[in-house]
């Protein structure tokens, strides 16, 4: 009896065998991780499954959640997903523009501009995001500026993330070597052309993957905007129905699942982007 796989194995070189072993080991590890994840997920589900357990004379139930409540309210909560994504997208756009300006400003040799940028970053990083959101929503009306909750939120999130992201952009700008700048100047570019054509494109390429990361973080921080009470995003909806019917447990779990799924989806795209950028034309 001939065994085809045996003859194939016999012709394989040692390098092939070692490579296959490494591939198998990697795959085994991935499978192990996936199974463990599944077990942990199942355990979490079990915790909230209101299962009755009897150990000898001792009987207890795991946590009970009201499925009917969730089914009833899931459309209401879910419709906040798009608002959450919308707020995050607007804010990240605003933050990106601010961050780029602040990072460029820190290259300025004109003291007021440099000072303005460091001042902004210091002020924003030195105060809580929660406070900033309330400031725009609650404190500004006192001086006659009344912003709708959504815009107060976007303004606060944008300003806040802009300050943090300016550090990313600054690192991006300094990742472009001196030689690149010199080459641009030597062919006769003005400093402005040099920034626009040579430095910023390369800095952006460096900064795009971490910006994706910031977006994923912002998806979750956007929940703070619900505190204004006027932005009907995911968190606001969950607390509203939860409080009204004293079903906070179910409502928050539902919102948490939505946040988690969003984060997973965007993290996936973000890591794909990162992989693509890293093998780009560097």
Partner 1 sequence: MSPIIKITHLDKFFGRLQVLKDISLEINLQEVVCIIGRSGAGKSTLLRCINFLEEPSFGDIEVDGLCVSGGKKVREQRDLIHEIRLRTGMVFQEFNLFPHMSVLENVMEGPVTVKKMDKAAAQKIAEMNLERVGMIFKKNEYPNRISGGQKQRVAIARALAMEPKVMLFDEPTSALDPELIGEVLAVMKSLAHDGTTMLVVTHEMEFACDAANRVIVMHEGELVEQGTPTQVFDHPENEHTLALVERYRSGKTTQPVN
Q: Report the nearest approach of partner 1 to the CB of residue 190 (Å).
A: 7
Q: Report the nearest approach of partner 1 to the CB of residue 95 (Å).
A: 24
With respect to partner 1, which residue has the nearer C-beta, 111 or 179?
A: 179
Residues touching partner 1: how many (CB under 8 A)?
20
With respect to partner 1, which residue has the nearer C-beta, 104 or 184?
A: 184
Q: Report the nearest approach of partner 1 to the CB of residue 196 (Å).
A: 9
With respect to partner 1, which residue has the nearer C-beta, 75 or 179?
A: 179
With respect to partner 1, which residue has the nearer C-beta, 75 or 281?
A: 281
With respect to partner 1, which residue has the nearer C-beta, 205 or 232?
A: 205
With respect to partner 1, which residue has the nearer C-beta, 138 or 187?
A: 187
Residues 162-221 binding partner 1 (CB under 8 A) are: 177, 179-180, 182-190, 193, 197-198, 201-202, 205
Q: Report the nearest approach of partner 1 to the CB of residue 192 (Å).
A: 10
Burial pattern 8-41, b for ≥16 Cβ within 10 A else e, equals: eeeeeeeeeeeeeeeeeeeeeeeeeeeeeeeeee
Verify binding: residue 50, partner 1, rule CB under 8 A.
no
Yes or no: say if 275 and 209 are a contact pair by the CB < 8 Å rule.
no
Q: Report the nearest approach of partner 1 to the CB of residue 193 (Å).
A: 5
Q: Report the nearest approach of partner 1 to the CB of residue 174 (Å).
A: 16
Binding mask 223-262 for partner 1 (x = CB under 8 A): ----------------------------------------
Yes or no: say if 252 and 223 are a contact pair by the CB < 8 Å rule.
no
Q: Report the nearest approach of partner 1 to the CB of residue 181 (Å).
A: 9
Cα gap 103→97, rounded to integer Å: 10
With respect to partner 1, which residue has the nearer C-beta, 128 or 201?
A: 201
Contacting residues toward partner 1, per CB under 8 A: 177, 179-180, 182-190, 193, 197-198, 201-202, 205, 281-282
């Amino acid at each position: 009896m001939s065994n085809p796989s045996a003859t194939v194995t016999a012709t394989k070189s040692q390098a092939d065998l070692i490579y296959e072993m490494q591939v198998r080991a990697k795959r085994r590890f991935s499978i192990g991780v996936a199974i463990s994840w599944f077990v942990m997920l199942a355990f979490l589900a079990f915790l909230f499954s209101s299962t009755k357990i009897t150990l000898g004379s001792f009987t207890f139930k795991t946590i009970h959640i009201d499925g009917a409540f969730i089914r009833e309210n899931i459309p209401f909560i879910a419709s906040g997903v798009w608002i959450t994504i919308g707020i995050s997208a607007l804010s990240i756009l605003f933050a990106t523009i601010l961050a780029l300006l602040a990072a460029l400003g820190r290259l300025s040799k004109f003291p007021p501009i440099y000072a303005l940028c460091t001042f902004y970053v210091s002020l924003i990083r030195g105060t809580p995001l929660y406070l900033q959101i309330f400031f725009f929503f609650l404190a500004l009306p006192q001086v006659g500026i009344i912003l709708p909750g959504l815009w107060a939120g976007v303004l606060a999130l944008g300003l806040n993330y802009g300050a943090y992201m300016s550090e990313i952009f600054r690192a991006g700008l300094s990742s472009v070597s001196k030689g690149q700048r010199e080459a641009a100047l030597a062919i006769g570019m003005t400093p402005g052309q040099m920034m626009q054509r040579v430095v910023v494109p390369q800095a952006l390429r460096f900064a795009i993957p971490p910006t994706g990361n910031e977006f994923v973080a912002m998806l979750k921080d956007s929940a703070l905007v619900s505190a204004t009470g006027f932005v009907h995003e995911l968190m606001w909806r969950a607390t509203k129905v939860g409080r009204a019917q004293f079903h906070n447990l179910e409502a928050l779990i539902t919102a948490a699942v939505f946040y988690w799924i969003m984060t997973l989806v965007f993290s996936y795209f973000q890591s794909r982007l990162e992989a693509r950028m890293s093998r780009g034309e560097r």
